[in-house]
Amino acid sequence: MVLLAHGVYKTPAHYTNNSVFTYLSNGSLGVRFFFVISGYLITKLLLAEEKKTGTINIKDFYVRRVLRIFPVFYLYILVVFGLKWFFIPDIVSSYYLVFFAGFYLWNYQHFFSYPSIPNDKGYWFFGHFWSLAVEEQFYLLWPLLFRKFDKTRLLKLCIALMLLMPLLRVAHYVIFPGMRLQIPMMLHTGGDTILTGCLGALLEEKILANKWLIYLMKNKLIVFILFILLFVVSPALAVMYKGSYGMTIGMTVNNLLIIFLVLWCIHIPSFVARVLNSKLLIHIGVLSYSLYVWQQLFLTYQLNYWINQFPQNFIAVFGVATVSYYFVEKPVLRLKNRFKRITLFNREEKISFARRTGPIES
């Protein structure tokens, strides 16, 4: 969804001028899915580690995050600098942008920017790192909170923050009208999406033990209605009421719908789960981090080289992401396993969606 949203500028109109592409290219919703699943997975890993060892090794957690995120991320920044120094001098003009991207602060750079910054080409080439910044800021705090509080207090904290953040979004919407587009990008106004995934993991056993909730999950009509609410009704309301819905209560509604559908996919065998378990989508999932990092170089509307034109731009994204995964990510992931105390799923941090033979692989 994010790739299609970013690639729309160079994709021929006869591919994009239809409702199917419009829904598939909802990049904002794609990021919400990513955040919810991320919070769910990380919390499941923490729960499993605590259950097995009785505690959480904070140092190992941070080392795993560094080994997971840093190599490809900083390689990308080096490549952008290489292009600037040797081929495209104006690909980024302000080192200010590099600072905020490189230190995972991009989602707050607008508080300190000056008027020329948004016109800098580097704004595109580093701008997608706002979502990585939200994640890294969140996961700097989450394991500390997880170890400090028992599950009851942690649940109360999650719910309290999820109730508070819509109010913070409303306050930001009113107080900073020129920065409304940044509302989903900041930790204090958008972090509840990740929290929703964390809450789903914390409540998963209770949800699966609740006959009424299981009935809802197994009821195809109800699940269909929830899909329509998430993919049709909620985006329509966001268009009709603009930010007054989409950037306030709409985000909370979407978050709750997403975690319900994620748990449904994991635990209830369905056609959707079988599609998500297909070899193609599993392979795309394996490449997802490298796809996320490298996409901007090829899907940009600011460069007009042959490699930036459709369809070779999408082919190049997948080609470079494949090389990045097998020659950078995968070797480092082997090192990461030395600091891994728990194997939750049969692949590295991967959800196994429900199959006909059982609810979840472990």
Could you tell me if residue 345 is inside a domain?
A: no
Structural domains of the chain, count? 1
243 token code pair: 């930010």
Question: Model confidence over 214-267: pLDDT tens digits?
Answer: 999 999 999 999 999 999 999 889 888 877 787 778 999 999 999 999 999 999
Least confident span in 1-5, 34-38, 150-154, 193-197: 1-5
Mean pLDDT of 275-288: 90
358 token code pair: 């059982």
Distance CA 226, CA 224 (A): 5
| Domain, as residue range, for 251 | 2-339
User: For residue 239, what pLDDT is reported?
Assistant: 83
- Per cent of the chain over pLDDT 70 is 88
Could you tell me if residue 70 is inside a domain?
A: yes
Mean pLDDT of 4-20: 73
User: For residue 111, what pLDDT is reported?
Assistant: 82
Question: Model confidence over 71-104: pLDDT tens digits?
Answer: 999 999 999 999 989 888 888 877 888 899 999 9
Could you tell me if residue 350 is inside a domain?
A: no
Could you tell me if residue 292 is inside a domain?
A: yes
Could you tell me if residue 81 is inside a domain?
A: yes
- Per cent of the chain over pLDDT 90 is 59
Does the pLDDT at position 347 exceed 70?
no
Q: Left (φ > 0), alpha (ψ -120 to 50) or beta: where does 268 sit? A: beta
Which residues lie closer than 8 Å to 127 by C-beta, 6 or more apart? Answer: 106, 296
Q: For the range 239-247, what are the long-range contacts, defined as Cβ-Cβ under 8 Å and sequence gap of 24 or more?
A: 243/173, 243/180, 243/183, 244/173, 246/28, 247/169, 247/173, 247/180, 247/183, 247/184
Query: What is the distance between the terminal CA atoms of the chain, rounded to a whole angstrom?
Result: 28
Q: Would you tell me how many other CB atoms lie within 10 Å of the CB of residue 276?
A: 17
Could you tell me if residue 225 is inside a domain?
A: yes
Does the pLDDT at position 354 exceed 90?
no
Could you tell me if residue 228 is inside a domain?
A: yes
